[in-house]
Amino acid sequence: MEELLKKLGLSKLEARVYLFLIKSGATLAGTIAKKEIINRSNCYDVLTRLTEKSLVSFVIKENRKYFQATEPENLLSLLNQERASMEADFDSKQKEVEAAISKFKEISQFKNEEQISVVYESMRGIKAMLDDMIREKKEIVTLGVAGEISQILSFYLPRFHNERIRNKIPLKMILSSNLRKTRGKELEALKYTEVRYLPEQYYSMSTTNIYGDKTAILLWSENPIGILIKNKLIADSHRKKFRLLWDAAKK
C-alpha cells in the first residue's frame, strides 16, 4: 500500500502518516509524531502537505486539533488531478487505486464516525469535495453561489459539470439576481440544471451544497475553505431551508 501511495506522488513519510491515520482515526499531531517516531516539526510539515492534497483534514475537539484521514475515495481525486503528468498507463493505475481504496475502507476508522466533519483548506481540497458530489450520484441543491467561483475554478468547473451531466445528476441552484445575465445564463444552458433567483441582497461569498446525507459549505475567500459535514439530520434541515427559498425564488 505504501508503494502505491508513493506512485501517486506521496513521499515515504507522507505515505506512513496517511496509513497511520487511516488505521487510527482522529489523532493529535504529537501522538502521530510519537507513534511514527518522527520529529514533531517534520510531522506538522507532512500533515500540511497531506492536507493540501486533500488526503488529511482536521477537527477541533475540546480546543485541540485532531488530524484525520479523509475518505479513501479522495485518492481518486488526487489521481485525476495528477492525470496530466501521468504516463500512458493511467487506466491501470486507476484500477490499482480502486483496489487499494477497498482495502483502506476495511481498515479505516472513518466509517465508524456517525457524524463526520472535515475541513479542507486548499484548492485541491475544494476540488475533492466537488468530486465527492459526483461520486454520490445524488441530486445536488445549492444555496448562494458567488460569481467568483467561475473564476476561481475556471479550469475545473467544466469538467465537474461534464461529469455531472454524464451521470445525469440533477442540480438546482438559487442565485442572486445580479448574476442572472452572467453565471446564471451559463448554468441555465446546461442539462439537468435548474436555476432560480432571489434579490441582490442574497449575494454571498459562501456556498452551501446539499447532496445525499452530506452538506458541503464553501467559503470563497482569498484562500478558499471547505467544510464537509456527513449527517442526515443536518442535510435534511438544510434541504428543507432550500425548498422554502426555492418556492420563493423567481425563474
Check pLDDT > 50 for residue 250.
yes
Q: Which residue has the higher pLDDT, 55 or 79?
A: 55
- 172: cell is 438546482
Output phi, psi for 196, to 5 deg. -130, 165
pLDDT digits (tens, 9 = 90+) for 88-114: 566 666 777 777 777 776 766 655 454
Q: Looking at the DSSP assignment, which residues form a beta bridge with residue 61?
A: 64
CATH number for the domain running over 2-112:
1.10.10.10
- 156: cell is 475545473
Quote the pLDDT of residue 48. 92
Percent of the chain with pLDDT over 70: 87
Lowest-confidence pick of 8-12, 16-20, 133-137: 8-12
Q: What is the pTM of this model?
A: 0.70
Domain range list for the chain: 2-112, 132-248
Please provide the average confidence, as pLDDT, over all residues in the chain. Answer: 84
Amino acid at 30: G
Report the alpha-carbon distance of residue 173 to residue 165 in Å, rounded. Answer: 15
CATH number for 132-248: choose from 3.20.20.70, 3.40.50.300, 3.90.320.10, 3.30.870.10.
Answer: 3.30.870.10
Residue recorded with cell 508513493? 6
Q: Which residue has the higher pLDDT, 246 or 86?
A: 246
Quote the pLDDT of residue 6. 83
Quote the pLDDT of residue 165. 97
Quote the pLDDT of residue 245. 93
245 and 232 in contact (C-beta within 8 Å)?
Answer: no
pLDDT digits (tens, 9 = 90+) for 145-198: 665 566 667 778 889 999 999 999 999 999 988 888 888 899 999 999 999 999
Check pLDDT > 80 for residue 83.
no
Q: In angstroms, what CA-CA distances link 119 with 32, 43, 66, 217, 227? A: 19, 19, 11, 10, 5
pLDDT digits (tens, 9 = 90+) for 58-68: 887 777 889 99
Lowest-confidence pick of 10-14, 117-121, 179-183: 117-121
